[in-house]
């Protein structure tokens, strides 16, 4: 029986929002698995810092960091072209770039609603189109010859793709739409272009934008009470699921969303779960 293959040697991955937090962890995990990786961000200072961080201890020429605004189709096309110019091809796309908004729904302004959709839904849509066009130009992969896996897209969804949380209506709507996009493309693109499309739904991972709420507020306490594993997640744990989904080990997984949440989404009504001392 053939062993599972998580090796990404020879693959080229693009990770949007890959200059910090979860995106940076995913980029590092892809590099550790043998891929060449391109990361993008709207902010030049983050682009430069990510290149320095990811390049440390890596073979020369394995990392590309570029300015990228996923909500701007021209920026998307230019970034993909730069990746191809540098590495010669693309194989993997991780749509990680995103934004959040916690606000009472009646107070959400039209511009805020549209901005989140531009970043969280249209951004991945534009990236997927540009990625697929390049894959078509490269040719449909011969899975037997390449060791399996073919081309692959992973969309970073959310627990709010499935569940309702208070005062994040616009964010949840964008992530629900992204899950629907994942499933639609997974029906259409594997047969035509050899591209598998899956998603990960991270649980609650403390990061710059939410750390204060999760670690000191009542919301964080209630999340832990509903998480069987009784802790928050880490970016590295989400990254592991992303690497699995794009690897040959997952060659027959398509249209799925892996929930990496410590059991949060399967928790129903049970005895009170106070944090274990």
**Which residues are catalytically annotated?**
171
8 A C-beta contact, residue 23 and residue 97: yes
- Report DSSP letters for 29-62, one per residue: HHHHTT-EEEEEES-HHHHHHHHHHHHTTSPTTS
Question: What residues contact 209, with CB distance under 8 A and at least 6 apart?
Answer: 100
- Encoded tokens for 84: 């191809």
CA-CA distance, 41 to 51, in Å (whole number)?
A: 11
8 A C-beta contact, residue 246 and residue 13: yes
Burial class of residue 105 (count of CB atoms within 10 Å of its CB; 0-12, 13-18, 19+):
exposed
- Encoded tokens for 226: 């509903």
CA-CA distance, 31 to 37, in Å (whole number)?
A: 6
> 3-state class of 192 per DSSP?
helix
Pairing of strands 12-16, 257-260: unpaired
> Measured between alpha carbons, how far is residue 23 from residues 17, 164, 234 in Å?
5, 24, 12
Q: Looking at residue 252, what DSSP letter applies?
A: T
8 A C-beta contact, residue 9 and residue 219: no
8 A C-beta contact, residue 186 and residue 197: yes
Q: Looking at residue 209, what DSSP letter applies?
A: T
């Amino acid at each position: 029986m053939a062993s599972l293959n998580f090796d990404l040697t020879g693959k080229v991955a693009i990770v949007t929002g890959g200059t910090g937090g979860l995106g940076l962890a995913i980029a590092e995990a892809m590099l550790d698995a043998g891929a060449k990786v391109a990361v993008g961000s709207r902010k030049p200072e983050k682009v430069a810092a990510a290149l320095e961080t990811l390049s440390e201890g890596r073979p020369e020429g394995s990392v590309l960091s570029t300015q990228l605004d996923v909500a701007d189709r021209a920026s998307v096309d230019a970034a993909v072209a730069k990746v191809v110019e540098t590495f010669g091809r693309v194989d993997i796309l991780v749509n990680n770039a995103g934004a959040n908004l916690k606000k009472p729904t009646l107070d959400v302004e039209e511009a805020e609603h549209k901005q989140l959709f531009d970043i969280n839904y249209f951004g991945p849509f534009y990236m997927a189109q540009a990625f697929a066009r390049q894959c078509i130009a490269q040719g449909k992969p011969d899975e037997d010859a390449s060791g399996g896996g073919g081309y692959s897209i992973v969309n970073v969804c959310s627990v709010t793709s499935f569940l309702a949380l208070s005062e994040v209506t616009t964010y949840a709507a964008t992530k629900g739409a992204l899950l629907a996009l994942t499933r639609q493309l997974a029906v259409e693109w594997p047969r035509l272009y050899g591209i598998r499309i899956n998603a990960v739904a991270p649980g609650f991972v403390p990061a710059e934008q939410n750390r204060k709420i999760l670690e000191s507020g009542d919301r964080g306490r209630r999340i832990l009470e509903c998480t069987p594993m009784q802790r928050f997640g880490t970016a590295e744990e989400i990254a592991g699921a992303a690497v699995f989904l794009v690897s040959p080990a997952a060659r027959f997984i398509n249209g799925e969303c892996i929930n990496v949440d410590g059991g949060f989404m399967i928790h129903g009504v049970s005895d009170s779960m106070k944090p274990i001392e």
